A and B are shown apart, each in its own frame.
Chain A
Amino acid sequence: MLSVLNGLNSVTLASLEVGHHFYWQLGNLKVHGQVFLTSWFVIGLLVVASLLATRNIQRIPSGIQNFMEYALEFIRDLAKNQLGEKEYRPWVPFIGTLFLFIFVSNWSGALIPWKLLRLPEGELAAPTNDINTTVALALLTSLAYFYAGFSKRGLGYFKKYIEPTPILLPIAILEDFTKPLSLSFRLFGNILADELVVAVLVLLVPLFVPLPVMALGLFTSAIQALVFATLAAAYIHEAMEGHGGEEHEEHSH
């Protein structure tokens, strides 16, 4: 029975490979080649779409320009809702790129049959199902909100650690570690789990049955991109506002 399954595995597309990577050697550094390959695809897609949208800008938009304007308005609304009308503009590129990169990565992992392209080792998948990518994005978010806090309030930013009371200092410090941790692991876990579930279902029943899970995966992927971008914006806003005023509730999904 097991040998039959194994034999099936070698012919079907469904094989589970977690923890195998397509290593590239750069000097004495090792990088995950498959992550960069798909991320370049994602970046290329975004750049091409942007270029097409802005190639021939019309006052009355149509086609790709209209679509990208819709995307931009969505991102602007997201940033505006979190950061407020006054502050949101300089942060739109960062938050928007977070959203677009994660969203396109997730959907490319869910929609494009990367596994048809064979690599010597490992397999192509969404860049966001590699922990390095998500941690990189989460750390950038941390840097971004530190930068936002310092540029807005100078050294007064440190006051947020002892306000309203110094008793909470350890928790406030801990927060700076849990924020990137939860951001990166939420995204990584969701995307990897989704791909694993789809892969397992495809392995078991290769026809039709995985489709609802794939659809659910699309939904989760979109939600995760939205959550990541929204939380990043919320953290930046919190750093700029401080704890003095209203406390922002944590959105967790």
Chain B
Amino acid sequence: MFDFDATLPLMAVQFLLLAVLLNAIFYKPLTKVLDDRDNYIRTNETQARERLSKAEMLAKQYEEQLANARRQSQNLIAIAQDDARKIGATKIAEAQKEAQAQREEAQSEIDRQKQEAMQRLEEQVDSLSRQILEKLLGPELVNR
């Protein structure tokens, strides 16, 4: 059972050769793969984290822009409403003024025509009263 012979050193040499061989075809390549994968995952993770923070920043920026745009549009609407109100008010005022002017014109026309009519009436009254007078008194008396 315990017979030592040349098996021992040969086995030792064989084992060392196996270690060297496995180092070349197993440990080195696979260790490299594992390390490369670790690096790959690590860089990917940092990149992803950077991208995520960038995306979050962009989202925040967009939200700010959106809020700005909304505020501006509300301002615009308010301004437009104001303008519209002002324009409406001026238009109404103009229309009222015009109407006033037309009414005054019409009034003066009426007054003028009334005066004319009165004058004509007076003339007619005069001539009629002269005729009545002529008829009653005779033309010589009247023309004197």
Contact = CB atoms under 8 A, between A and B. Distances in A.
Q: Do A and B bind each other?
A: yes
A36 interface: yes
A92 B11 contact: no
Given A97-B22, A140-B15, A132 B7 contact: yes
Nearest to A34: B7
A136 B9 contact: yes
Contact of A97 (B2, B5, B19): B19
Interface residues on A, range: 35 or more
A92 B15 CA distance: 15
A189 to B, nearest CB: 11
B7 A31 contact: yes
B45 to A, nearest CB: 15
Contact of B16 (A30, A76, A140, A192): A140
Given A32-B7, A54-B26, A137 B34 contact: no
B9 to A, nearest CB: 7
B11 A51 contact: no
Q: Which bracket fits the contact residues of B?
A: 20 to 34
A47 interface: yes
Nearest to A73: B34
A9 interface: no
Contact of B15 (A21, A35, A97): A97
Nearest to B33: A57
A202 interface: no
Given A73-B34, A93-B22, 8 more contacts: A19-B1, A19-B3, A31-B5, A31-B10, A36-B14, A47-B22, A68-B26, A133-B8
Interface of A: 18-19, 21, 26, 29-32, 35-36, 39, 43, 46-47, 50-51, 53-54, 57, 59, 61, 65, 68-69, 72-73, 76, 92-94, 96-97, 100-101, 127, 130-133, 135-137, 139-140, 192
Interface of B: 1-12, 14-16, 18-23, 25-27, 29-31, 33-34, 36-37, 40
